[in-house]
Structure 1
Amino acid sequence: MTGDLLLDVASLRKSFGGLTAVDDVTLQVERGSIVSVIGPNGAGKTTFFNLITGIYRPDLGTALLDGVDLVGLRPDQVAAAGLARTFQNIRLFAGMTALENVLVARSMHMRSGYWGALFHTRVYADQERSAVADASELLRFVGLAERADALAGSLAYGEQRRLEIARALATKPKLLLLDEPSAGMNPQETEDAKALILRIRSELGIAVVLIEHDMRLVMTVSDHIVVLDYGRKIAEGGADDIRTHPKVIEAYLGRGVAARTATPESEEAS
């Protein structure tokens, strides 16, 4: 990778008791790129995301986003630095509307403060109108414009996934982390998710890192792929390099995942 570096993670390590969940992992993400992090269940993928988003603090290593050191920052500070994420298990405010869910995230960019909100000053009113317009546009972007007033908990599963992405985009990130964005989706929903990921890059200019088990999606959407196993990086490269890499094949076969994951035409991997 030789382009304009956005995320530079070096020698990241995290242990829980006697278990090393992430072991000396290095990863680089260029601006405008799509990078996938793959590996068998228990490989340390979500823990890796948690380390660079402030949920866990690494024992060792560095993580720089556009030159800003993320290690030691709280999750809200990481978001303010330009790194947003979604979660493997959807975390929406079920009793709020789709629009309100996006506005919650968009509010971090409102500057009028407590008194402006209390007295509903003109500055606050202008910012509120702008926030609603931005949130509505993000719902349109993810295909949920007609569901703006629906409670998040009433949305279909695929719609909730898209709403979570819209909420993450509302923080105006430089880099978006997606934790299994196609999990639980049918083939058409997965194709829609793939199209959305590509549009996030092409239309919004936002780089994306995704954890994903669907090898068809990974192989067709990624500029670069990193493979973890037992917390360590065992391979990285383009799709052609990864699908035939002996360590990758061994890691997946060792956990009973079919060898058909080696080609983009294959069925979804578990």
Structure 2
Amino acid sequence: MDVLQVYTPNQYTIDGCATFYRHDKFKEIVKYELEYDKSALPFVEALEPELKKAGCFRLLKDNVALVVILERVKNEECFDGNQPRICVANTHIHASEKFPDVKLFQVVSLINGLEKIANSKIPLLICGDLNSLPLSNPHSFVSKGILQSVPNKENDPLGVYQYLWPCPIYTLKSAYAWFFQSDGIEEQQRRKMDSETMEPIFTNFTSEFTGTLDYIFFTVNSLRLESVLELLDKEALGSGLPSPQWSSDHIALMGSFTFTLERSSYQGQRLLPCLPSPWRTAAAR
């Protein structure tokens, strides 16, 4: 688990990401702890002197990602002596709507590192509070490999995007959008999805805001989505979250997946050495 101490109006609290897995099913091969402020530091240092102060203020945010590569244990079905691996990443992206450049920077930093892992034929699961709406640049970059809009001086005052080398993973898809485009989904459940974005109508529900900020993404060429957790109706949640019945202002998302790779791919995974951290050094131009 990767945690950071952050300040709230009332007290210091611990904010971070955690990944839980069953030890009778998987074992940990390697873990990476990504702190976005450290990833941003080379970019801030490359800014013109008059922009450095603003760069520190905007980009050095204490948001994190936790990435772990797991391998199935040997008491499960064996593929010619090789066990399949999976990479699970979860993250919490900066929340303020006033910093779209920071959100994009953090998401691109995460995906650029994961792209190196995906190239090693290891399936990916990404679970995250992106604090970004469907069809926003962070969401579109992950799910479609494109930017929905070109950053400009207003939403990218430091010109952060010119320093990024976006490396999209073209096989990443949103689990809920993918599942609800399949056949046989009850109309009652379809009504809980946005017909334009195909994402849930909301994952965050408070008195001030209602919308979708949370997602599960997976590599469709190596994992098969079997099911997702049923979405909730606003009517069942009262005036907003959290509440005595629901402890978070976000609803839970869940998916069930199976491996689909050929056995030769598992062998290729096993022959790979443990990867150094893909986020150890950041590339700038």
Q: Is TM (by shorter chain) over 0.5?
A: no
**Higher relative contact order (CA closer than 8 Å, sequence separation 6+):** 1
Higher helix share: 1
Name the TM-score, length of structure 1 as normaliser. Answer: 0.28
Name the TM-score, length of structure 2 as normaliser. Answer: 0.27
